[in-house]
Amino acid sequence: MSQHALSTQPAKGRVLPLPPGPKGHFILGVMREFNRDTLGFIERCREFGDVVRTRFLYVHAYFLYNPDDIETLLTTNARIFRKAGSLRSPFFARLVGNGLVTSEGDFWRRQRRLAQPAFHRQRISSYGDVMVEYAIRQMSKWQSDQVLDVSREMNRLTLEIVVKTLFNADVSKDADHIGAVLSEVVKPFASQATLKWIADNRLPTPGHRRYFNLVSEIDRIVFRIIAERRASQADEGDLLSMLLEAQDEDGSHMTDSQLRDEVMTLFLAGHETTALALSWSWYLLATHPEAEQKFHEELETVLQGRPPKVEDLQRLTYTERIAKEALRLYPPAYAVGREALEDTEIGGFRVPKGSQVFAFQWVTQRDARYFENPDAFDPDRWLPERSERLPKYAYFPFGGGPRQCIGNYFAMMEIVLLLATIGQRFKFSLEPGHRVEVLPVLSLRPKNGIKVRAEVRYG
């Protein structure tokens, strides 16, 4: 437990105060301010203190800005919290069901235990060649001087990779389709639309019908992958095989619909986040020529013109620092949320049972108390001597504690390998006149994509 958390234990019988925070409208609470400018709002709330209390309609929300309190939430006291209520919306549930991201308690523990071996470092390392091969295949479609939406390209690439590596299936012919469907699917979660979406909750509007139809379409693809594997009975040694073979103590196997939930969860959790980390990395490199130059120098020195391999990762240290810095400035998961299962205290304040508690990577990872010149893109801040004194939860792009991202090593390896493979051959410059804006939906996306001009470096 952190010092901070220890020092704020309440004396027996003492009633702790509720934290300060913006009150907002008497019915809506802060819904409008939040929907109008989500990132600005969560930044401004920090002015109230390290623990802030606010309200969305009838839901009380607590925002945590201090790394020690975030540690209390995600690690020290993790057992008295479950995932935030927003993850239990019927729309999200229809998409990911009871998969690893959303499940709770013993069911989650069992699924995590079953899935964990597929994410061990050694197994993941065997996927490195596929990552590089798929990147080379994708690049073969690009011409010099071509204008690309690099975020779309990265999305497609990471989708193909997650499907190939975890389910040993090739979906290149379906990838555009799945990509389009998944991006439609998250649209209703755009913060601007939240209120309308809650209000419309039970009405069969055309938007809802369209959403449910789209999810059914992805279902068909996923069930097809499962059926093909069941029919072939092949042990591909991938996650799907492991989940198919996994048995309960009573000898029962997972049903198709349980498998479908896990597959859908990994589709969603495993590709867009990584694609975003890559897209923001390219954006940052395109706008920081000095860092780009150092990046190219490292690629030349370490790789000398050949494609990267997993064994090169330990020498691609600057590339790794670029990835870490991109995840700091543009964390694809910009918030984590929990619901208190009992009355508790955080940072000296009372947090009643049922409260929704959030920590924001977007805000804390740009906090000047922990990061010098916090808005600057400075990959070298991740040199060991410059980062060793950072509080553990000042930087948490993959969350933390028992619910920490199961794919964090997979993601870091993929980001570094793809940056190296693509950066060897191409450099990107931003298209003049194209404004890159952040859109906090389920993840932190570029609102209108990232339009770049691709330039062949050599070859």
Considering the complex, what minimum distance in angstroms separates the CB of residue 109 from ligand HEM?
Answer: 9
Collapsed DSSP state (helix, strand, coil) of residue 51: strand
If binding is defined by CB under 6 A, does position 162 make contact with ligand HEM?
yes
Residue choice 179, 188, 332, 379 for contact with ligand HEM (CB under 6 A): 332
- What is the C-alpha to C-alpha distance for residues 184 and 164, in angstroms, rounded to an integer? 23
If binding is defined by CB under 6 A, does position 407 make contact with ligand HEM?
yes
If binding is defined by CB under 6 A, does position 266 make contact with ligand HEM?
yes
Residue choice 31, 154, 299, 411 for contact with ligand HEM (CB under 6 A): 411
Binding mask 54-93 for ligand HEM (x = CB under 6 A): -----------------------------x----------
- First-to-last alpha carbon distance for the chain, in angstroms, is 54
- What is the C-alpha to C-alpha distance for residues 107 and 421, in angstroms, rounded to an integer? 39
- What is the C-alpha to C-alpha distance for residues 438 and 324, in angstroms, rounded to an integer? 18
Residue choice 151, 191, 273, 355 for contact with ligand HEM (CB under 6 A): 273
Residue choice 2, 151, 274, 424 for contact with ligand HEM (CB under 6 A): 274
Burial string for 45-81 (b: 16+ CB within 10 Å, else e) reads bbebbbbbbbbbeebbbbbbbbbbbbbbbbbbbbebb
Considering the complex, what minimum distance in angstroms separates the CB of residue 249 from ligand HEM?
Answer: 21
Residue choice 405, 416, 417, 452 for contact with ligand HEM (CB under 6 A): 405
Return the bridge partners of 356, or none. 61, 339
Residue choice 398, 413, 436, 452 for contact with ligand HEM (CB under 6 A): 398
Considering the complex, what minimum distance in angstroms separates the CB of residue 403 from ligand HEM?
Answer: 4
Considering the complex, what minimum distance in angstroms separates the CB of residue 55 from ligand HEM?
Answer: 22
Torsion sign over Cα 158, 160, 165, 166: positive
If binding is defined by CB under 6 A, does position 101 make contact with ligand HEM?
yes
Please identify, using beta-carbon distances, which residue of 113 and 224 lies nearer to ligand HEM.
Answer: 113
Residue choice 336, 340, 357, 452 for contact with ligand HEM (CB under 6 A): 336
If binding is defined by CB under 6 A, does position 329 make contact with ligand HEM?
no
Q: For ligand HEM, which residue has the nearest CB?
A: 407
Tokens 């740009």 belong to residue: 366
Angle at 130 (CA atoms; ends 128, 255), nearest 5 degrees: 100
Please identify, using beta-carbon distances, which residue of 100 and 454 lies nearer to ligand HEM.
Answer: 100
User: Which whole-number Å values give the CA distances from 237 to 121, 140, 181, 224, 234, in the listed order?
Assistant: 15, 29, 28, 19, 9
Please identify, using beta-carbon distances, which residue of 151 and 265 lies nearer to ligand HEM.
Answer: 265
- What is the C-alpha to C-alpha distance for residues 142 and 173, in angstroms, rounded to an integer? 18
DSSP 383: S
If binding is defined by CB under 6 A, does position 364 make contact with ligand HEM?
no
Please identify, using beta-carbon distances, which residue of 33 and 325 lies nearer to ligand HEM.
Answer: 325
The amino acid occupying position 64 is L
If binding is defined by CB under 6 A, does position 410 make contact with ligand HEM?
yes
- Characterize the bridge pairing of strands 344-346 and 349-351: antiparallel
Considering the complex, what minimum distance in angstroms separates the CB of residue 199 from ligand HEM?
Answer: 26
How many Cα atoms sit within 13 Å of 243 on the Cβ side? 26
Interacting residues with ligand HEM (CB under 6 A): 83, 100-101, 112, 162, 265-266, 269-270, 273-274, 277, 332-333, 336, 397-399, 403, 405-407, 410-411
